[in-house]
Amino acid sequence: MENLSIDIIKLLRYLIPGFIAASIFYSLTPFPKQSPFERTVQALVFTIFIQALVYGVKSILIFIGYKYALLKWDANSELIWSIIIAILLGLTFSYLINNDKIHEKLRNWNITKETSYFSEWYSSFSNKENVTYIVLHFENGRRLYGWPKEFPSAPEKGHFIIEEASWLDDDNNEIKITGVKSVLIDVKKINLIEFMEKHKEN
C-alpha cells in the first residue's frame, strides 16, 4: 500500500504541470472547455512538451554545474522547473492562439487556409482589419451604431458592450444616445453585424 501511494505521488508530480499549462490555456483563450477525457489528453500532450523542456534545462544546468557550483538537481528541483515551464508554455500557447501566429505562417506557406481561432465569429472580431465601428441589426429591425469595446466569444451567448452608441434611422442618420457611456446588448437579440469601412467611420 505504501509503494502504491508513492507511485501515485510520483505520477501526480509528473502530470500536474501538464494540467497547469492546460488550465492556463483555457483561462486565457476563448476555446470552450472540452470533455474531461479530451482535457486529460491535452494535459498529457502538454506534459510531453514540459518533460522534454525540463530535460533540456536539466542538461544545461548540469553542464554549467561542472564549472560553477549550483544547487543539487533532485525531485524537488525537477518539480519546480516543471511548474515554471508549464506556466510559460501555457502563456506562450495562449499568445500564439489568440494572435493567430502559427496559422498565419502556415497560410503564408500555403499549408492551410484555417485560422487558430475556434470559430468564424471570433475570427471576424479578432481580425485587425475589422477593428472598427460596427452596426448591430436587431430582430425588430432597429440598428445600433457604435464602437465594440467588448464582444461575446461565441454567437450563442454573451453580450456586446457598445460605446459611442447611436441609433440609425431609415436614412442612416445617427440619433445619438446622450448621457450614456456604454450599452450592454444581448447577442441573442442580434440578427446581423456590419463592420464599417475605415473611411466610413471617419
Structural domains in the chain, CATH included, are 2-107 (no CATH), 120-201 (2.30.30.100)
Residue-level pLDDT at 3: 58
**Percentage of the chain modeled with pLDDT above 90:** 37
pTM, two decimal places: 0.74
Work out the burial of residue 39: count CB atoms within 10 Å of its CB; fewer than 13 is exposed, 13-18 middle, 19 or more buried. Answer: middle
pLDDT higher than threshold 90 for residue 83: yes
**Percentage of the chain modeled with pLDDT above 70:** 92
Residue-wise DSSP of 88-115: HHHHHHHHHHHTTHHHHHHHHTTS-S--
Q: Check residues 202 and 119 and name the one with the higher pLDDT.
A: 119
Q: Check residues 161 and 35 and name the one with the higher pLDDT.
A: 161
Distance CA 117, CA 108 (A): 17
What 196-199 contacts at long range (C-beta under 8 Å, 24+ apart), as own/partner pairs, is 196/132, 196/133, 196/134, 196/135, 197/132, 198/132
Q: What is the pLDDT of residues 27-38, one digit of tens each?
A: 888 877 777 788
Cell of 75: 525531485
Query: Region 88-102: what's the mean pLDDT?
Result: 90
pLDDT higher than threshold 70 for residue 134: yes
Q: Check residues 19 and 67 and name the one with the higher pLDDT.
A: 19
Residue-level pLDDT at 198: 62
Confidence of residue 146 (pLDDT cuts 50, 70, 90): very high
Residue-wise DSSP of the chain: -HHHHHHHHHHHHHHHHHHHHHHHHHHHS-PPP--HHHHHHHHHHHHHHHHHHHHHHHHHHHHHHTTS--PPP-HHHHHHHHHHHHHHHHHHHHHHHHTTHHHHHHHHTTS-S--SSSSHHHHHHH-GGG-S-EEEEETTS-EEEEEEEE--SBTTB-EEEEEEEEEE-TT--EEE-TT-SEEEEEGGGEEEEEEPPHHHH-
Q: Check residues 143 and 37 and name the one with the higher pLDDT.
A: 143
Q: Check residues 2 and 196 and name the one with the higher pLDDT.
A: 196
Confidence of residue 10 (pLDDT cuts 50, 70, 90): confident
